[in-house]
């Protein structure tokens, strides 16, 4: 089975190479980016207006996080997180993993806020220079995670256990996997997210006596749309139409792996072209 998947992966890589030469994947990636930017531009005045009208720091931090979830650079990471957690939502086991994912993001945001406050005097002059390499590496990272979920490759965090899809879900689908994934995805910054986090949230946190809580609420806000979708999946999973889906865990796992690989490739093509040119 693994040899077949490996052969399929090689064929897919060949097709990706052809698509790169033709510019097809770049156009698809840019189209997704434009769509996400349109959605963000539509929501931004409403969410920001509500934040300003309420004027409560903790609620403002949460609303900024909700808005950040629709930032263009969050499209692929949000979609892969949904693909990763949705199978367990159908089995009504998603919430501890979802909370672990949010905890990973919250830890990253809290560390970033602490570094800026204690070591950089509350300002970060050029965040792009720091986070650009991370943003460029996230696409290949998603591809590697997807290949691991597909069983094509093994790597220690996900595959330090015997074969079998149930064990694989337990290893990469327990609490350690989503915790690590959330921590890494917390570094998925782009200009929009730079402004929301460093330009709006951090000054708010520095001016508040309980400012250390605000990055945590920001992380909670970024997970609000994902949590809403998982709740929808969980409710659907109780229905007759999706009862059979709970019995095909290996297919769901491989489907999530396929989503990681596909969106990781699109993410890589988009951001390497945006920041490096063809």
pLDDT at position 56 is 85
**Under 8 Å CB-to-CB from 274, ≥6 apart: which residues?**
none
What pLDDT score does 205 carry? 87
pLDDT at 145: 84
Q: Which pLDDT score is estimated for 155?
A: 56
Give the residue carrying structure tokens 């749309």.
225
Asked whether the beta carbons of 108 and 180 are under 8 A apart, the reply is no
What the block records as the tokens of 69 is 């979830």
Per-residue pLDDT of the chain (278 residues; tens, 9 = 90+): 455 555 555 555 555 554 555 566 667 777 777 777 888 888 888 888 888 888 788 899 999 999 999 988 788 888 889 888 887 776 667 788 899 999 999 999 999 888 887 777 666 666 666 677 877 888 888 888 888 777 776 655 443 333 444 444 444 446 788 898 899 999 888 778 888 998 889 888 888 888 889 999 999 999 999 999 988 877 776 554 455 555 545 566 677 788 888 888 888 877 777 665 54
Q: What is the pLDDT of residue 129?
A: 66
């Amino acid at each position: 089975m693994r040899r077949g998947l490996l052969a399929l992966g090689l064929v897919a890589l060949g097709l990706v190479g052809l698509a790169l030469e033709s510019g097809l994947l770049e156009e698809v990636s840019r189209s997704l980016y434009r769509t996400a930017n349109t959605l963000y531009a539509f929501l931004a005045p409403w969410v920001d207006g509500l934040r300003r009208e309420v004027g409560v720091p903790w609620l403002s931090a949460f609303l900024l996080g909700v808005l950040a979830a629709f930032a263009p650079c969050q499209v692929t990471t949000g979609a892969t997180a949904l693909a990763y957690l949705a199978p367990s939502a159908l089995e009504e086991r998603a919430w501890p993993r979802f909370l672990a994912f949010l905890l990973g993001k919250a830890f990253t945001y809290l560390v970033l806020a602490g570094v800026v406050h204690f070591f950089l005097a509350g300002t970060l002059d050029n965040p792009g220079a720091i986070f650009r390499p991370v943003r460029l590496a996230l696409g290949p990272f998603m591809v590697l995670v997807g290949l691991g979920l597909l069983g094509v490759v093994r790597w220690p965090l996900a595959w330090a256990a015997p074969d079998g899809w149930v064990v694989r879900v337990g290893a990469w689908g327990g609490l350690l996997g989503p915790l690590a994934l959330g921590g890494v995805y917390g570094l998925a910054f782009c200009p929009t997210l730079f402004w929301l986090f460093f330009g709006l949230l951090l000054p708010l946190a520095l001016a508040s006596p309980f400012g250390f809580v605000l990055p945590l609420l920001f992380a909670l806000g970024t997970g609000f749309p994902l949590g809403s979708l998982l709740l929808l999946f969980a409710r659907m999973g109780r229905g007759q139409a999706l009862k059979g889906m709970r019995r095909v865990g290996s297919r769901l796992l491989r489907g999530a792996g396929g989503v990681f690989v596909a969106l990781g490739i699109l993410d890589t093509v988009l951001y390497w072209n945006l920041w490096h040119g063809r």
